[in-house]
Structure 1
Amino acid sequence: MKEHILDLFLRKYRINMVKPTIKKYNNCRLLDIGCGWEARLLKSIEDYIEYGVGIDFKPPELKTHKLSTIKMKLEKKLPFEDESFDIVTMLAVLEHISYPEDILREINRVLKKDGRLILTVPSKMAKPILEFMAFKLRIIDRAEIEDHKKYYNKNDIILCSEASNFILEKHRYFQFGCNNFACFYKE
């Protein structure tokens, strides 16, 4: 699968945004929801984690002593025990999910106490820009944009996180307000 050049740049940008938080956890167990077809985040943080698992409907088959992937379509349940992970990442995934509150509750369930959920998600301002870049300019993947269920601003993220018992630790917009970066913790 060939990735559009702008999609590649945006993915690298998101990965670089989350690495500092991941590096704060010595030998953490990490779940990457929506790891993508190359599991790039997992591969790029392998030196900083004890174990990482990625789930997606299109991941590569990956099985090493530190990393693995699971091929599955994300619905309302995660196939992991309670309090299995220190960090869960969702980079450009929440906008594709039909039941975001259910998944966030599941993430809360699989996170350890004081664990972190790190996510990026497009803002409402991004919708016309992404559609223009996908449908007219064809510089990002059209199918990915057509699959977006919802765009989020800070207040939308706060409402979703409160419904799933997370506490917002950090939020900022990036890429000229078109994307959200948020970090939540579980008490």
Structure 2
Amino acid sequence: MTRKTDAPKNIEHIIEERGYQPRTERHRIVVDYIRKFDDIESVLDIGSGLGEFLETVDEELENVTMYSLDMDLDLLAETERHVNVHSVRADAQHLPFEPNSFDLVTALGVIEHVENPSHFVDEVHRVSQKNAVFMTPNIGRPNRLVAAMLGKEINEFDGHKQGWDYHLLTKFLESNGWKVSDVDVRYVDFPLYDYFPRIGRWLSYNVLPRFFKRAGSELFAFCEKK
């Protein structure tokens, strides 16, 4: 695996047509993690959606074979329009692959949607040869806790079966065959992010995670197989 030196700073058609800037920044956090390894040659992205993450991988890294997995054929077709991937239509809780098939498995915004998270994590463990990344919204984020204390309604995304905070996620993964090597956070609902994007983005990525490691909007658990 090598880095592409001519990778663009932004993937404009994702931002303008299919996504938004914070989402691409989420994906770059994971790509930065991948760069730490010299031996990641295959990636399976579970719940790949429109394929934004795999497109970021394709733009910035070389010699990585990519697999997208989703239940929606239209989303898989959209991914294939932009990225050279192997598309697989399958249930995230029943992965149709042999054991140790991939160097890295990513599940970005998936674990909170599955009916049986233990079985899901076991399946990821089975098909991953080395590493995995789990990303999920943080139910322990400050704005949610303040809203709860004030008795205000807490709006969550539709389809979430359960919620995770720093402790729940790390303990759960550690008890299901993973060593959590690091947990990163992102502050996408930090107020300055909307009103002063550059300042807010700098604080969100360079300042707040250093001092408030467990209180970000999203949690990124970087895992190794035990």
Q: TM-score, normalised by structure 1?
A: 0.77
Distance 1:127 1:146, change over 3 A: farther
Distance 1:107 1:154, change over 3 A: same
How far apart are the structure 1 equivalents of 2:170 and 2:47?
Answer: 21
Distance 1:167 1:68, change over 3 A: same
Alignment of 1:87-106 (within 5 A): 87-106=104-123
How far apart are the structure 1 equivalents of 2:83 and 2:107?
Answer: 23
Distance 1:49 1:153, change over 3 A: farther
Match of 1:94, SS?
A: coil
Distance 1:4 1:159, change over 3 A: farther
Task: Using the aligned pairs only, state the percent identity.
Answer: 23
1:111 has 2:128 as partner: yes
1:147 has 2:159 as partner: yes
The range that moved more, 167-176 or 177-186, is 167-176
Displacement of 1:106 after TM fit? 0.9
Alignment of 1:36-115 (within 5 A): 36=49, 38-46=50-58, 47-58=61-72, 59-61=75-77, 62=80, 67-74=85-92, 76-112=93-129, 115=130
How far apart are the structure 2 equivalents of 1:40 and 1:53?
Answer: 13
The residue number in structure 1 matching 2:137 is 122
Unaligned runs of 5+ in 2: 1-13, 148-154, 191-215
Unaligned runs of 5+ in 1: 133-141
Displacement of 1:51 after TM fit? 0.8
Q: TM-score, normalised by structure 2?
A: 0.65
Displacement of 1:91 after TM fit? 1.1
- Residue correspondences, number: 170
**Root-mean-square deviation (Å):** 3.2
Q: Match for 2:95: what amino acid?
A: L
1:124-147 CA-partner distances (Å, limit 9, x unpaired): 135976xx9xxxxxxxxx9x9111
Q: Which structure shows the bigger proportion of residues in strand conformation?
A: 1
The range that moved more, 51-60 or 118-127, is 118-127
